[in-house]
Structure 1
Amino acid sequence: MKSRRTLLVRTGHGSAAASAVPGLPDVVLDAVTDAAPDPVVDMVPPVPPDLPPVTGPVLPGPLVLGPVAPVVPVQSVRPAIPAPPSVPPSVPPVVPPRPVEPPAVPPVAPPAVPVAVPVTAGPAIEPLFTSAPGLNWAGPGDQWSRAWALRTLGGTDSPPASPSADAPDPAPEPAPAPDLRADAEQPPTARDIELIRTSLAVVEPVADRATAHFYALIFLGHPEIRALFPAAMDVQRDRLFRALLTAARSAGDPDGLRAYLSALGRGHRRYGTLTDHYGPVGECLVAALAKYAGSRWNAETERAWRRVYRLVSSIMIEAAEESARTSPPWWQGEVVAHERRTPDLAVLTVRPDQAYPYRAGQYTSLETPWWPRVWRHFSFASAPRPDGLLTFHVKAVQAGWVSNALVHRAAPGDVLRLGPAAGGMTLDHAAGTDLLLVGGGTGIAPLRALVEELAEHGAAGRAVEVFHGARTPAELYELAGLRELAGRHRWLTVRGVLSGPGAGTAEAAAAALLAGELPEAVARFGPWTGRTAYLAGPPAMVRRASGVLLRSGVPAERIRHDLVGDLAAP
C-alpha cells in the first residue's frame, strides 16, 4: 500500500524537445481502430472498493514499443526539490469543506514563475487566478512542478569524478556484443511488423505477468517515474498490452497512425512526460518482452521492436513539442455552477483559467482534486461561447470515482484540471448533407453542442433529425430544451425515445415519447441514405446504432462517433 504522501503528488508541466530525436523515417503500419468506453460517460470497470479505477499514461508517453535511438536530454535550469508537505501515512488527503457561497475570484495576476516553454505563437498564457478553495495551486511555479522537473532520470547535477592518476589500469573488457541500437536507426520493414506480431502472440497469454514485470523494471530502476502514474496499477497494466496490440495490428494507414500517435503525445503532456523518459521506458519494455517471448525472441526480433519504437516515440515527442509552443499541458477550470438534473446527473459549468480552444462535438479529460492523476473523458455540452465558459453533463456511474466526485462532491469554487480537446466528431459545414444525431443518456451532450453550432452559424439548407433516448423520463433531461430549439428552427426535428419503465404508457404517449430501444427506434424512421450520422452514448448503443445504419444504406464513412477508449486520454 502506498503512503498518503504518494497519493498527494501532483503532475507538473512536462514538455519535450522533438529535435532530440532523429528524423522520422517513412513507414507503413497498420490502421489504428477505435474501441473502448464512450468519452461522454465515465465508464470504468469494477475494482476493489479500496482502490479507485485509474488512468494514466500507457507508458510515461504511452504507446511504447522499444527504446528511442540515442536521445539528447532537454537541457534546462532546474531548481532544487522543495521538501514535500509532511503528511502522516494514516491521515487521508485534506480536502476543504464545500463552501457555502461561491468565493470571490482573485484579481488577474501573472504566475510567479514564467512557463518553462516559451510561447512562440498564439496568445500569451496568463492564468486568471492562482488559487481557489478545494485545490492547492498546481501550475507554473508550484512546488511539485519544480520537483518533477529535476533529475527525472536519476542523474546527478555534478559531473562524474575524474579517475585518479595513481589508479591501476582497468582490466581489459570483453569484446562488446553487436549494437542493436545502431540498426534501430533504420525505418521498420514488413519483416519487422511480422516479428512484432509473432512475439506479441506468444506474450499475450501471459500478458498480466509481462506487464507487471515491465512496470517493476521501470519503478525499481527509475523510481522518479513512479510519480507520473496513479497509485493503483491494475487497470494500467491492461491498458499497456492493449496499446501494444493496437500498434502491432496497424498497417496501410500511416497518416491515420501519425494522427493517432500525435494526439497521444499532446495529451500525455498533462502527466509530466518528458523526452528523457522514452529511453529507459523502452529499454524496460524490451527486457520484459525478451523474458516472456520465449523462443520467439532473438536479435532480429529485438531489432524490430527498437525500430518501431523509435518511429512511435519520434512522432509523439514531435507532437508534444509542437503543442508546447502554443498551449499549456493542462488548464485549470473553476466550477462556477453545479445544477443537479437527477439524483445522479449534474450539469457543470466551468470557467477555464485561460483561453480554451475546442469545437462542438469534441471531448476532454478531467481530473478532480480528490483523485490525483485519475482522468476521465467528458464531452463538451455546448458550442464555444463568447464568455469562454464550458459545460459538461456528468452521470455518476457505479465504481466511477471521477463521475461520482463531480456529481456528489463538486461545488462552485472547486477547481478541476482539463486536458486538451480531442475527438473528430465535428461538423463539416462545407458538406451540406442532412444530419442524423443519435444520443443515448448523457451522449446527448455533444449532439446538443452540434445543434447549437448549427443554430449559430446557420444550417445552410440542411435537415437535422435528433433522437434523444433514455430509460426513464427524468433522464431525457435535454428533450425540452431541444424541442424549444426545434420550435425556433424549422430545419430541426427532435424525438424522444423511452426504453425503461413507463415506455408505451398513456403518459409517455402524451409526452410524444417513442417506446423501445434507441437503435431500433431510429431504424423505424429510416432509411437514412444520404445522411451523415453522429452517434454518442454508451458503447453498446453506439455499436448497435452503427450496425442499424449500415444495414439501412448509410456508408461507413458517414457514420461518426468517438469510441476512442482510455488510450487517448486522453
Structure 2
Amino acid sequence: MGDLATVLRESWGLVDDRRDRVAERFYARLFLDDPQLRDLFPVHMDVQRERLVGAIVAAVRTFGDRERVDAYLRALGRDHRKYHVRPEHFGRVKTALLEAIRHHAGEDWTGVHEQAWNDVYDFIADRMTAGAADDTDPPYWHAEVLSHERRGPDVAVFTCRPLQPLRFRAGQYLSVECGYRPRLWRTYSVANAPRPAGTLDFHVRDTGGWVSSALVRLLRPGDMLRLAAPMGSMTLDPHSRRDVVFVTGGTGLAPVKAMLDELTRYNRTRWVHLFRGERRGDGFYDRAHLDGIAARYPYLSIVRAASDDPDFPGEHGPISEVVGRHGPWRDHDFYVAGPAPMVQATLHRLAEMGVPATRVRYDAFTGAE
C-alpha cells in the first residue's frame, strides 16, 4: 500500500497544475457517456468541480493509511446514497476519471501509473459499495424546520426535527440540502447531543456560498430539509478519563457545543477548557448561553481571544497562540474545530508542545461551502 501511495502522488503531480482542466474534462466525458447522470448533479458545477479535485487530492495524500481510508470510504458510500448512486455508476466514473488524468498527463503517463489508478479506484469503489450495501438507514431523512434565529449579521442557528429517527453521536456532521438550493448538499455539524425529541440544532455562517446564504437568509420555520447520514469521528472517547480541551473558531463552535451537551449529562471528574477564537469581539455569538453553562458546571472554563480587535477585553492573538500560552497539555484530550487555517495552525502548535497526535481530533471544514 505504501508503494501504491507513492505512485499515486507521483502521477497526480503530473497534472496538479492543471487540476481544473482535469475536472472539466472528467465531467464532460461522464455526461457524454451517460447524459442521464447529469440529473444527479447541481445546475451550477463550479463548486462541484472544486469538490472533485479536493477529494482526489485528499485520497492521494492519505491512501497509505489503509485502516483510516477503509472506514472513511465505507462512510462515504453510505453518504452517497443520497445522490442515488448505483453500483453501475462506478464503472462509468472510473472510465471518465482515468481518461481525464491520462489525457492531461500526456506522454509522461506510464503503464505503472495506469495500473495504480485502476487498483486504487477499484478499491475505492469496492469499499464505497460495501458501505452502501451494509447501511439499513434511508438514503436521507426529511426534516421540518422548527425555529430559525439570527445570532449575528451573518450567523443563523436553526432547529429541525427529522420525520424518522436519525441516530448520530455528538461531534458528528451531516450533509444538508434545502429546497432553495436543490441538489446542492453542504456539510454542517450538529450542535447538540442526541435528544429524546430527536431535534437537531445547526449553526451556519453565511460565507457567500449558495447553500450557506440560503440557510441564513431564506430559511423559515415550516420549511423542509433533507439530511444525509451522519459522518465524522470527532467524538468523545468514552473510555478516557483525561481532562478535555476544546479549541474553536467561527461555527466550529457547533460540534463543541454538542460534546459539551453530552458531557453535562455525565461528567463528574474531568476539567473542560474551551478556547474560542474570533477576529473581533462582536463575533462571539452564543456567548451568554456558553457563560450560563459555565456558571452551572464549574468544571468548564472559557477563554476567548480576538486576533484583530485591540479593544477586546479578553486575550489577543490567534487562538492557536493563545492555547500555547496556557497548559501544560500533554495529559489532555484535544478537539479542534473551525476554519481550516485555524485548525492547521492549532495542530502545528500542539505538536510543538508535545501533545500526542493520538489525543487530538479535529474537524477542518465546519461551515465550509
Question: What TM-score comes out, normalization by structure 2 length?
Answer: 0.92
Q: Which residue of 2 aligns with 1:160?
A: none
Instruction: Give how far 1:194 is off.
Output: 5.4
Q: Which residue of 2 aligns with 1:368?
A: 178
Q: What is the alpha-carbon distance in structure 1 between the residues aligned to residue 220 and residue 200 of structure 2?
A: 15
Going from structure 1 to structure 2, the CA distance change for 1:473 and 1:328 (only over 3 Å counts) comes to same
Matched, 1:503 2:315: no
- Does the CA-based 8 Å contact 1:536-1:562 persist in structure 2? yes
Matched, 1:350 2:160: yes
CA offset digits 1:409-447 (Å, max 9, x no partner): 111001111111111111112110001111222222211
- Does the CA-based 8 Å contact 2:151-2:286 persist in structure 1? no
Q: What is the alpha-carbon distance in structure 1 between the residues aligned to residue 53 and residue 132 of structure 2?
A: 23
Rg (Cα) greater in structure:
1
- Does the CA-based 8 Å contact 1:479-1:496 persist in structure 2? no
Q: What is the alpha-carbon distance in structure 2 between the residues aligned to residue 294 and residue 408 of structure 1?
A: 46
Match of 1:544 among 309, 332, 345: 345
Matched, 1:417 2:226: yes
Match of 1:247 among 59, 64, 68: 59
CA offset digits 1:34-68 (Å, max 9, x no partner): xxxxxxxxxxxxxxxxxxxxxxxxxxxxxxxxxxx
Matched, 1:312 2:124: yes
Which segment is superposed worse, 365-374 or 517-526?
A: 517-526
- Does the CA-based 8 Å contact 2:172-2:235 persist in structure 1? yes
Which segment is superposed worse, 374-383 or 200-209?
A: 200-209
Q: What is the alpha-carbon distance in structure 2 between the residues aligned to residue 391 and residue 449 of structure 1?
A: 9
Instruction: Give how far 1:349 is off.
Output: 0.6
Q: What is the alpha-carbon distance in structure 1 between the residues aligned to residue 316 and residue 99 of structure 2?
A: 56
Q: Which residue of 2 aligns with 1:437?
A: 246
What are the residue-to-residue correspondences of 1:171-250 with 2, within 5 Å? 190=3, 195-250=7-62
More relative contact order in 1 or in 2 (CA 8 Å, sep 6+)?
Answer: 1
- Does the CA-based 8 Å contact 1:444-1:478 persist in structure 2? no
- Does the CA-based 8 Å contact 1:532-1:559 persist in structure 2? yes
Going from structure 1 to structure 2, the CA distance change for 1:285 and 1:537 (only over 3 Å counts) comes to closer
Q: Which residue of 2 aligns with 1:337?
A: 147
- Does the CA-based 8 Å contact 2:294-2:301 persist in structure 1? yes
Q: Which residue of 1 aligns with 2:236?
A: 427
Instruction: Give how far 1:196 is off.
Output: 4.3
**DSSP 3-state at the match of 1:366:** strand
RMSD: 2.4
Matched, 1:403 2:212: yes
More helix per residue: 2
Matched, 1:475 2:283: yes
Q: What is the alpha-carbon distance in structure 2 between the residues aligned to residue 300 and residue 438 of structure 1?
A: 43
CA offset digits 1:319-374 (Å, max 9, x no partner): 01111xx2111111111011122222111010111101111111111111111111
Q: What is the alpha-carbon distance in structure 2 between the residues aligned to residue 496 and residue 300 of structure 1?
A: 52
Q: Which residue of 2 aligns with 1:86?
A: none
Question: What TM-score comes out, normalization by structure 1 length?
Answer: 0.61
Going from structure 1 to structure 2, the CA distance change for 1:386 and 1:232 (only over 3 Å counts) comes to same
Identity rate of aligned residues, in percent? 42
**DSSP 3-state at the match of 1:371:** coil
More strand per residue: 2
In structure 2, give the amino acid aligned to 1:340. Answer: R
Q: What is the alpha-carbon distance in structure 1 between the residues aligned to residue 309 and residue 108 of structure 2?
A: 55
CA offset digits 1:179-211 (Å, max 9, x no partner): xxxxxxxxxxx4x65554443332333333333
Q: What is the alpha-carbon distance in structure 1 between the residues aligned to residue 305 and residue 18 of structure 2?
A: 44
Unaligned runs of 5+ in 1: 1-27, 30-189
In structure 1, give the amino acid aligned to 2:60. Answer: A
Going from structure 1 to structure 2, the CA distance change for 1:532 and 1:287 (only over 3 Å counts) comes to same
In structure 1, give the amino acid aligned to 2:318. Answer: E
